[in-house]
Amino acid sequence: MSTLANSPVLPAGVTLPIYMDNHATSQMDPRVLEAMLPFFTEKFGNAASRNHSFGWAAEQAVEHAREQIAKLIGATAKEIIFTSGATESNNLAIKGIAEMYKERGNHIITQVTEHKAVLDTCKRLEKHGYRVTYLPVKADGLIDLEDLKRAIDDKTILVTIMAANNEIGVIQPIAEIGKLCHEKGVIFHTDGVQAIGKIPVDVNAMNIDVLSLTAHKLYGPKGVGALYVRRRNPRVQISAQIDGGGHERGMRSGTLNVPSIVGFGKACEIAREEMATEAARLQGLRDRLRKKLESELDYVEINGSWDHRLPGNLNMSFVYVEGESLLMGINDVAVSSGSACTSATLEPSYVLKALGLGDDVAHSSIRFGLGRFNNEAEVDYVADKVIGIVKKLRELSPLYEMVKEGIDLSKIEWAAH
């Protein structure tokens, strides 16, 4: 009794810490681990070893995974190239296409809210004679298709627009973008990292030519990713960025990471089978979280389109409270903030700023990323905790006090520093 007296009584279904940062990474599904285990020990062969049974077993497992992954996105197994993760996939796609098609043109189109793996790759290409258009987004985080249409010219070789955003969970009109690209004869690449396994993605129905994937966002292992590269209508060619043994149809040399690839395949298979029910469940949890927070707190704002959003994403600003101090108050809950107070610069999230949010609101944002292993009891616990801390911090906030007194904060001459 004396030992129990000191530990807080938690509701059933809640164990601390609670993980709600599934956009960053996800817990591996035990079914995935189980599939992987034999490939570390008894089935350890190199998939490129063609002359003994160890190699054949590894190759067979890799080909099975290729099929599992392809099936999730409506592709064929031959169109899947393994990489170390989505950053490499994005680099390979963008640089590989830019290099391969440079005779045809030097113009690339992307958008301002892409992941850094895309933006920084594009910036590098700009130093090598490529021209890049960074499309703006509307207040809801979606690009305007008319902007895209206008941006495409006869030098455009590639459009790269992510399927779903990692911060605000906003889903772009991928099928419409794909259709437009195909009409104009431009290659369409999409960073599908956040979308794959969460919402239906079909490379043929959506006219996607190249697609970046990674395993660890869908309950698979870290350090393994893939690139879908269309083989017909049109056949897309990619210039290798890593040379060597000519693995992966010459597009990506390097010994295959067999256990992780097996896990990636299994993760995709599970995601495909459970996507419909899981999406509905996550959406229910997310809506519950939003409702609870909004019922108890004033001055909260949803960032990004609510209707075009991943089922597990809730990005919310708790205005007049700074994000990092909010995270400190819920230190047994893992979430992320778009505030920059954890970094050396004072610039808050560029994604939130691209929506037109003021820096003050961006500094106040929290990203909740719900996933397969979250439950309703956790949502209730987190909601109560956040409500308590926001109220406490607002008692401390001079801004909240001033607003409550009817002072217009925009009229104050702040000493910017």
Partner 1 sequence: MAYSDKVIDHYNNPRNVGQMDKSSDEVGTGLVGAPECGDVMRLQIRVNPETQVIEEAKFKTFGCGSAIASSSLATEWVKGKTVAEALEIKNTDIVKELALPPVKIHCSVLAEDAIRAAIGDWKKKNGVAETAEAVAVAAH
A 10 A CB-CB count for 2 gives 5
Query: Distance between CA atoms of 357 and 349, rounded to whole angstroms?
Result: 10
Q: Which stretch binds partner 1 (CB under 8 A): 46-54, 100-108, 259-267, 341-349?
A: 341-349
**106 three-class SS:** coil
Which of 126, 396, 404, 407 is in the footprint of partner 1 by CB under 8 A? 396
Please state whether 246 falls in left (phi above 0), alpha (psi between -120 and 50) or beta.
Answer: left
CB of 301 to partner 1, least distance (A): 14
Query: Distance between CA atoms of 227 and 70, rounded to whole angstroms?
Result: 10
Structure tokens at 51: 């002359």
Query: Distance between CA atoms of 66 and 75, rounded to whole angstroms?
Result: 10
188 lies in the binding site for partner 1 (CB under 8 A): no
Q: Which is nearer to partner 1, 214 or 364 (CB)?
A: 364
| Residue 122 a catalytic site member | no
Instruction: Indicate the residue type of 137.
Output: V
In total, the chain counts a number of residues equal to 417
Which residue of the set 122, 181, 268, 341 is catalytic?
341
**Binding track, positions 61-100, relative to partner 1; x by CB under 8 A:** ----------------------------------------
Using alpha carbons only, how large is the chain's radius of gyration in Å? Answer: 23
Contacts with partner 1: how many residues (CB under 8 A)? Answer: 32
320 lies in the binding site for partner 1 (CB under 8 A): yes
Which of 322, 349, 372, 374 is in the footprint of partner 1 by CB under 8 A? 322
CA angle 388, 390, 391 (to 5 degrees): 65
Query: Distance between CA atoms of 360 and 299, rounded to whole angstroms?
Result: 13
Which of 16, 280, 341, 407 is in the footprint of partner 1 by CB under 8 A? 341
Q: Which stretch binds partner 1 (CB under 8 A): 28-36, 168-176, 297-305, 342-350?
A: 342-350
Contact 214, 86 (CB under 8 A): yes
Nearest to 209 by CA among 96, 107, 111: 96
Query: Distance between CA atoms of 226 and 368, rounded to whole angstroms?
Result: 26
235 lies in the binding site for partner 1 (CB under 8 A): no
Contacts of partner 1 in 199-228 (CB under 8 A) = none
Which of 340, 352, 354, 390 is in the footprint of partner 1 by CB under 8 A? 340
Q: Which is nearer to partner 1, 60 or 342 (CB)?
A: 342
Nearest to 188 by CA among 169, 175, 197, 200: 175
Which of 68, 207, 339, 365 is in the footprint of partner 1 by CB under 8 A? 339
Q: Which is nearer to partner 1, 216 or 363 (CB)?
A: 363
407 lies in the binding site for partner 1 (CB under 8 A): no
Contacts of partner 1 in 354-393 (CB under 8 A) = 358-360, 363
A 10 A CB-CB count for 404 gives 13
Q: Which is nearer to partner 1, 96 or 338 (CB)?
A: 338
Q: Which residues contact 354 (CB under 8 A, 6 or more apart)?
A: 112, 113, 136, 137, 141
CB of 401 to partner 1, least distance (A): 6
303 lies in the binding site for partner 1 (CB under 8 A): no
Give the active site residues.
341
Which residues of the chain form contacts with partner 1 (CB under 8 A)?
A: 320-322, 324-325, 328-329, 339-344, 346, 348, 358-360, 363, 395-401, 409, 412, 414-417
